[in-house]
Every structure is written in C-alpha cells, then in structure tokens.
Amino acid sequence: MGGAVITEAGNHPQVKGLVYISAGAPDSGQSFADWKNYTPAPAATEIKPYGEGYVALTLEGVRKHFVQDIPSDEADIVYAAQGPLAVKCFGDKITAAAWRSKPNWYIVAAQDQTIPSGVERHSAKRRGAQSLVLEISHVPMLSRPDVVAEFIAKASSSL
C-alpha cells in the first residue's frame, strides 16, 4: 500500500518527486480498490484473514507470488516480518494525487504476481512517469537492491 501512501503524502511541500516501485498509484478521488480494477493477481488467492479486519499473505503466497525470486530462507523472513494489512485501506480514497503535479518515476516489476505488470505499465504511462521495467517480483528492493538504489539516485539527482 506504499504507493497509495506516497500518492497522498507526496503533496507535502518538501516532497520534490515520487518514486513508485511496483506500487499502486490511485488518482484523486480513487481508492486502491478502484485503481486496481482488474482480474486478481495470483497472490490474491493466498491472502487470508489475520484477525478481525486484517489480512496477510500465507507462507506459500509470500514464497510463490510476492518474493518468488529470492532464496526461500529469505522469503521465510519476509513472511515472518510482514505486518497485517487493514482491509479498510483498500477503500480509502486519495484526496489529491501528488503525481498529478510532481515529477514521478516508476519501476515496473514484469514478474509481479501481486499487482499485474500490465496494470503497473498502464499506471506509469498514464502518469507520464519515467519508468524502468525489470523482470522481477513485487519487491525488487530485495532481489535487486543495487538496481533500485541506482534508479532512485538518478531520479533524485534529476530534481
């Protein structure tokens, strides 16, 4: 849900630009659920209730659909460290999408099984984001931190 967070929080005057990494980017007046109006990705079958009003990925969901390109022992740490996600977050509306007024960049994860890469590509194009497509899972910052860091550094240096 980090993309929805920076889409709103990015309106702060000290924010100069936004970097999305395989993330959702709703428009003004949209929720994440509105934005992702697509056929569910494979990870959706592995999201289970985690207490009242919360969900989390199963161990199999993390290994096969979230971080499928990192070693299984590392994927197990991701599973253990994940925090539950409040279901209501999917319906929270964006007041003003910061990407409408600020430069933005987007890493499309072509092997993403959490948010389909076609949705990511469409989102990046719609926003006019400078983008990079990687043949990678939903969390390239774990499988290719070097490439992600370089992308962020280039974005930052262009501001």
Domains along the chain with CATH numbers: 2-157 (3.40.50.1820)
Q: CB of 143 within 8 A of CB of 69?
A: yes
Give me 63's structure tokens: 């290994």
Q: Which of 66, 62, 53 is nearest to 137 (CA)?
A: 66
Cα distance between residue 113 and residue 63, in whole Å = 11
Per-residue pLDDT of the chain in tens (159 residues, 90 and over written 9): 788 999 999 999 999 999 999 998 899 999 888 887 666 788 989 999 999 999 999 999 999 999 999 999 999 999 999 999 999 988 899 999 999 999 999 999 999 999 988 889 988 999 899 999 999 999 999 999 999 999 999 999 999
**Which pLDDT score is estimated for 38?**
63
Q: What is the dihedral of CA 27, 141, 9, 158, to 10 degrees?
A: -90
* DSSP at 110: T
